Amino acid sequence: MEKAGVRWTTEQVLALAPDDASRKAGARLSAAGPWSEAGSGGEGAVWGLCKGSGKKPYQTVIDTKGPAYACSCPSRKFPCKHALGLLLLWAAEGGSAVRTVLDVGDGPAPDWAREWLDTRRKRSEEQREKGKADAGGAGKPADPEAARRRAERRAARITGGALELEQRLTDLLRGGLAAAEQSGYGLWEETAARMVDAQAPGLAARVRELGSIPGSGAGWPVRLLEESALLHLLDQGWLGIDRLPAPLATTVRTRVGLPSPADGPPVKDHWLVLAQYDTSDGKITTRRIWLYGRESGRTALVLGFGAAGRSPQPALPVGRVIEAELTPHAGAGQLRADLSEEMGVPEPTGTAPPGGTTTAAVEAYGLALREDPWLDSWPVTLTDVIPVPEGGDGDGWQLADADGESALPIAPAALARPGLWKLVAMSGGGPVTVFGECGHRGFTPLAVWSADSPETVHLR
């Protein structure tokens, strides 16, 4: 189906699943039994009918260019278990055992699948035309004066919230950090709620993080002081935003919680999907997708958001290359970008992106902190590193340069994930290339390549 005749791997399909339950349910539907009239087309479409509990089978169709999914089942997850099962069946079709059971071959799509595909691609074309019109000035707000007044009112609310938060931090230091453990989480949650009322969700999130530190383990007063200092710095940045350089002022607005516009020059490239993972705060699920441009040499971050019960979009196959246009957001670093909806069919990848030593990774993070002091981590690729236990107790791990010059500790949160053992197994005691996030808590590995195979192995 793809240009190079190579389909996605099972691991790349499972990386699209919104949660573990969907992975397991999709795997149960990856056999030929429940499927009929399954097929694929040269334009990146996969379709099939899946037998369900009702009389009518579920109509499932996938556009791998997005990828995008449609299914007549009532599930609110994207992709649903039927789409995952169909993709798993399609991915495994190259094996002779599967082909003898069900031929998922190229051919014309049935009417119900073609109708959805045509509608989707027509909508994509309309959005592209609208984007061109907006760029030409047709998308200007109808009442710029009203928009300006709304922005001023919100800025005034945020300023009031920042001043109140400064008083809260002052009270914390006057009372002593040790007293924070006795005051409990309720006071922090109340402060966070007031930041939400002030329309500063970024400040609210940092306040909640502060509230989780007291009593969280050895050294918590030090961590509380560090995070309080960063929050104070952000407060002061907002209160003196008129005196900041334009890129840093945009970063402060973003950190406070104001949206940053995607108004940078578009970058069209062949983007390698390095990693994709979701995090949740209980209300909103955030999807982070890391991409690397083959021609531009640029690393970009695409964010997706989903409300409770709905998986974020987009979902991209890790390890594949997509041809697409990205529009960077403003602000220091300009890592975040918006992905155009229309993309080419994902193609098999070649080699890992270029990287460096662990020392170079720390230096890159340090340079990024100069532009954004509130940055938790920075994307880096490490070459010729070996995962080794840290210390004699075996509780920690680190990535050491093959020459033994330096090493990076693996972040504590990554030690409990199964991806660590994938990384160790891929290495086998030898050097590998690893992509991940380097931050003040350590290095979080997200993808690995071995010398034996250029295939991207997802670690999260």
H or E, element range at 273: strand 267-280
Question: Token pair of 33, please?
Answer: 């039994």
CB within 8 Å of 459: residues ≥ 6 apart:
275, 417, 419, 420, 422, 423, 436, 445, 446, 447, 448
Question: Token pair of 140, please?
Answer: 């200007």
Of 269, 180, 160, nearest to 220 (Cα)?
180
d(CA 33, CA 54): 16
Sign of CA dihedral 244, 248, 254, 255: negative
On whether the CB atoms of residues 299 and 292 are closer than 8 A, the answer is yes
pTM equals 0.78
Residue 208: C-alpha distances to residues 196, 205, 214, 276, 287 (Å)? 11, 5, 11, 25, 20
Query: Cis ω on the peptide bond leading into residue 67 (within 30° of 0)?
Result: yes
Question: Token pair of 224, please?
Answer: 């509380």
d(CA 30, CA 317): 17
d(CA 361, CA 437): 9
d(CA 106, CA 46): 9
How many other CB atoms are found less than 10 A from the CB of residue 349? 22
Binning the chain into helix, strand and coil, the percentages to the nearest 5 are 40, 25, 35
Burial of 166 (0-12, 13-18, 19+ CB in 10 A): middle
| Tens of each residue's pLDDT in the chain, 460 residues | 344 345 677 877 887 888 888 889 999 998 888 998 888 876 778 899 999 888 899 999 998 877 888 999 998 888 899 999 999 998 886 433 233 233 444 457 888 998 998 888 888 777 666 665 555 554 455 688 888 899 999 999 999 999 999 999 999 999 888 888 887 888 899 999 999 999 999 999 999 999 999 988 888 999 999 999 999 999 999 999 999 998 899 999 999 999 888 888 899 999 999 999 988 877 788 899 999 999 999 999 999 888 766 678 888 888 888 888 999 987 765 689 998 766 666 776 667 999 999 999 999 999 999 889 999 999 999 999 999 998 766 678 999 999 988 999 999 999 988 899 999 999 999 999 999 999 999 999 999 999 887 788 889 8
Question: Token pair of 375, please?
Answer: 């940055």
Instruction: Note the Cα 278 to chain centre separation in Å.
Output: 6
